A and B are shown apart, each in its own frame.
Chain A
């Protein structure tokens, strides 16, 4: 069994949230290089402009989620970084794009990767580029991570322990997230070892209440003003983690469930 927690700006200190089943999306990092034929910005007809091709590509790949993927499966394709060119009147030879793709199933992930490859080739072909100028689409395995799956049976046990420890009013069922985490890797391929990862509320209750009343959010994770309310957050974290660990670390003889994969 594997457990872990992550703090959140969505909840007050003193509360926790849990998502049974698929909880966080897989993250796949992809590098795309769109190639063209450089030249003078005043004479685009003498080359093939990779900036225009990259623009077409970025718009076209928006249809992967809206037209290629089954809408019942949440998925995201984001181009977060684009680099091309050196000066306004020079057509460069290539444009580099850095993408992240999020999905919950291997099938969804594959649909996205297939779309990225086909559309890259399609854009280059439509521009009449020769075979040696085809785009490259590279998946960065070292910067990718599988989806996080919270074992449902173990989640039920963890939730019951959290409710007893913190009071039922302080334990929430949270929706799954498109964010990603590598804690699931400790559960090994195919979720061989059950994992439960839960959210630890970290915000000053009065500040969160004021923000919610104003229809706003408090500064989130990865921002310069993310500020946990340390004392109750840490206290709730230690209490929760300790109680959950004690409830999971019981001998089978004492009547604790040994449902599929729960103990090892």
Chain B
């Protein structure tokens, strides 16, 4: 255990910081990311209905150079989920999944911001409700887009495989399950997700230290 701790400490010291060229790129991206945020904020979608948001995310990940699979996920009733998986391979190395959720809530927005939502939608039970990004999933999705661009531009600084996940239906807590069950039920149709999933699930348990 003592040895492991030492290794961890050394690795921490050796870890690259947020390099200056990364910062410059981010500054350059910020106006566009803010526009993206306001766009997503003004167009919130309820859990199970994230069609527009997932298409926006999938398009941005494709533009950034990721191999993207969309419409990933199956709910227990057989309906398809709007999950997004973007893969960027960068040689041998570890694999990292970065997840952002995309759904909004049945709330009438009262913030008064210029980009406030005026969206009305029907819930699954047919009730008409206001829809609002009242849990910040618009921030999460925007951050994922910004991170996707930054990591694609900084490929010389990392090694391995990146898997970016846009998850639907966090508020109803059935989105992650829907995405993972797609692996078992529809593997042949979704090679990107299923092969990535195989890598995720086939990790041998390291012996406990």
- Interface secondary structure of B, over-half rule: mixed
Interface 1/0s, chain A 216-260, versus B by CB < 8 A? 000001111111101101110111011101111111001111111
Contacts of A260 in B (CB 8 A): 206-209
The 8 closest A-B pairs by CB, nearest first: A237-B143, A238-B146, A264-B203, A7-B136, A249-B158, A185-B176, A263-B94, A247-B15
Q: How far is the CB of B185 from chain A (nearest CB, A)?
A: 15
Q: How far is the CB of A219 from chain B (nearest CB, A)?
A: 8
Do the beta carbons of B174 and A227 come within 8 Å of each other? no
Q: Which residues of B come within 8 Å of A, CB atoms?
A: 4, 7-8, 10-12, 14-18, 22-23, 26, 29-30, 33-34, 37-38, 76, 90, 92-101, 105, 107-111, 113, 132, 134-136, 139-140, 142-144, 146-147, 150-151, 154, 157-160, 162, 165, 167, 170, 172-177, 180, 199-201, 203, 205-209
Which of B11, B94, B110, B176 lies in contact with A249, CB distance below 8 A?
B94
Q: Which residues of A come within 8 Å of B, CB atoms?
A: 1-7, 27, 142-145, 153, 156-157, 160-161, 164-165, 180-183, 185-186, 188, 192-193, 200, 202, 221-228, 230-231, 233-235, 237-239, 241-243, 245-251, 254-264
- Inter-chain CA distance A54–B14, complex, in Å, is 60
Contacts of B144 in A (CB 8 A): 241
- Interface secondary structure of A, over-half rule: mixed
Given the interface pairs A182-B175, A237-B139, A238-B26, the reply to whether A254 lies near B14 with Cβ below 8 Å is yes
Given the interface pairs A185-B177, A259-B7, the reply to whether A6 lies near B93 with Cβ below 8 Å is no
Nearest A-chain residue to B160, judged by Cβ: A249
- Inter-chain CA distance A250–B8, complex, in Å, is 13
Contacts of B93 in A (CB 8 A): 249-251
Contacts of B98 in A (CB 8 A): 2-4, 241, 245
- Inter-chain CA distance A241–B14, complex, in Å, is 18
Contacts of A251 in B (CB 8 A): 92-93, 159-160
- Inter-chain CA distance A256–B105, complex, in Å, is 41
- Inter-chain CA distance A261–B15, complex, in Å, is 18
Do the beta carbons of A186 and B173 come within 8 Å of each other? no
- Inter-chain CA distance A152–B97, complex, in Å, is 18
Known A157-B12, A202-B139, A242-B147; 8 more pairs at CB < 8 Å: A182-B173, A193-B200, A239-B22, A243-B18, A245-B162, A249-B96, A257-B7, A260-B209
